[in-house]
A and B are shown apart, each in its own frame.
Chain A
């Protein structure tokens, strides 16, 4: 009962939020609704027992991709109101696409309920995370490290190709600050009247 209720709640929120992504006037609001959609979808994944996918969805899509979208949207400064003027013009095309997507989903659902999906059932005792982790860090540990090296090389590449060492930048040097004494910093000058401070 509770599961069903949660499902309908999450599904309803997901659909509403997805609708608001395209309907919202302010593009920043659109991205916020997109994040809400992701969260609801992640909840649906958890209900299905695919908790690893749910975590990935939140970490990768919400944590990185959606935030990136947000930055891009904020920086682009596109007049979205103007773009939305042509909404009616594209509406028939959008409806056709939506219909095709709907048909595909019906097919997938029908195949799942009435046919053998061909996907082997997972052991309910072992969670996704455990199953992936138990081979990722043992049998495939070497490749896991290898992928880490690939990412490291990509990072070195990005830095090599873009970083420019700037000369003449004053950096804070705590050691020098602490070592500075009163004698080195202050000079007492006895100024004769009418002469001013020399160089």
Chain B
């Protein structure tokens, strides 16, 4: 029994429950205090792995694997959870939704993601996914008096339940045909007896269940409605941490237990990647709501992130990690800008509301432009390197056609990013937004600063070594 390595998770669970207890028993609105404590907890959770030297090894009878990969992901999951809480502050207050449960649910969601990225067993995989999903369903419907938010929560819940069903069905098939739920056990069974159609069917079901969670086409149907209906800070969270956790788990599943049948999962991943890229790129063209647009953008970006995974190997995982890290940095900044879209009548979400932003709020227009260019992949911004590392390896192992398809989708996608830029800088009029609270302005500034960071090699090179270490530890 080795519980030392998962002490951060255990403590996070205890602290979240403790905060819940305080929130319930204390009179008055304790939400601001609890949110600040939760932000601190998440930052500590993010830092504890790297600071303690990243001790690694199997934990809890080998059911969880705490390695450099898990440490790397937890760092970004924790920080992105903290960023989401920071972003939610002013929104929840003005929308009169400032309940302490929001912070507690987000803590549990991050805990679930922590279990997901270190899963070394199908049970850990499933429990991690359920813990984060249940918390996310509730957060989607958090504005319960809004019809759209309730619809978003319900839709997310029902489709999430279907995906859990697919996942469990796949797990039972794999268990039935290999006799193990342990990743190592499955890998050994697959390697020794060859594989049967049952294992392949099970694996495809598991991948489909995970594809739901990363909203890869053709399992993307819920994404636009849920993104649009949920409160904006919740959407910001949806777009970052859960996607990173789910795709990291997907990488763990295909590299761990199903490493021996790469030719089988490769085709599945390629289909998911191709469909997602084009559904995301084409679907976004006609959108007028910016949250809906970001939903399609996230579908397309998941497609790009699947391209390096499809090429397999250490380099592929590294490409995926770099791409996803850069993606969540950019998306957090973009949502920090979207949350600033508020005029005297309340929150606005139409893209046309951004018109004339360069004259009324030059700083925000500049931030949003830089972030959009980064998502497009224009050098020398960070997003360019994300796509470079993501596609480079895929092209070098012979998936050139997939990379060409990804580039075509990127060009189609560039249209709608450029349209936003054009509306901000060239269109007339539009009402002025009210001055944003400091937390939003700071988050977007930090994100923009990071998008420009690659120009400084002192920061870029050690970070790359860290990613390398993370992706190597998976093998």
Give the interface of A toward B (CB within 8 A). Answer: 139-140, 142-143, 145-147, 149-150, 152-154, 156-157, 159-162
- Whether, in the assembled complex, B385 has its beta carbon less than 8 Å from a beta carbon of chain A, the answer is no
Q: Which residues of B contact A147 (CB under 8 A)?
A: 127
Q: Mark B300-339, 1 if CB is under 8 A from A, else 0.
A: 0000000000000000000000000000000000000000
Beta-carbon nearest neighbor of A156 in chain B: B101
Docked complex Cα distance between A162 and B153 (Å): 13
The 8 A-B residue pairs with the shortest CB-CB distance in the complex, in nearest-first order: A157-B138, A146-B127, A142-B60, A153-B134, A160-B101, A153-B108, A150-B130, A153-B135
Q: Is the CB of A156 within 8 A of B127?
A: no
- Give bound CA distance, A50 to B17, whole Å: 36
Chain A's interface: helix, strand, loop or mixed, by majority?
helix
Looking at chain B, what size class is its interface with the partner chain?
Answer: 20 to 34
| A146 CB contacts on chain B under 8 angstroms | 115, 124, 127-128, 131
Partner of A157, one of B64, B115, B134: B134
Contact among A139, A143, A159, A161 for B127, CB-based, below 8 A: A143
B201 near A: Cβ within 8 Å? Answer: no
Residues of B within 8 A of A159 (CB): 101
Contact in complex: A161, B60 (CB < 8 Å): no
Chain B positions 94-140 with a Cβ under 8 Å from a chain A Cβ: 99, 101, 104-105, 108, 111, 115, 123-124, 127-128, 130-131, 134-135, 137-138
Report if B348 contacts A (CB, 8 A): no
* A157 (CB) vs chain B CBs: closest residue: B138
Among residues of B, the one whose C-beta sits closest to the C-beta of A148 is: B13
Contact assessment for A156 and B104 in the assembled complex, using a CB-CB cutoff below 8 Å: yes
Once the chains bind, are A156 and B123 in contact (CB under 8 Å)?
A: no
**B108 and A160 contact, CB distance less than 8 A:** no
List 13 extra interface pairs beyond A146-B127, A149-B108, A160-B142, CB under 8 A: A140-B123, A142-B6, A142-B64, A143-B63, A146-B128, A147-B127, A156-B20, A156-B101, A157-B134, A157-B135, A157-B137, A157-B138, A161-B144
Distance in angstroms between the alpha carbons of A172 and B64 in the assembled complex: 49
B42-63 Cβ-contact flags toward A at 8 Å (1 or 0): 0000000000000000001101
Select A139's contact among B6, B61, B141, B142, beta carbons within 8 Å: B61
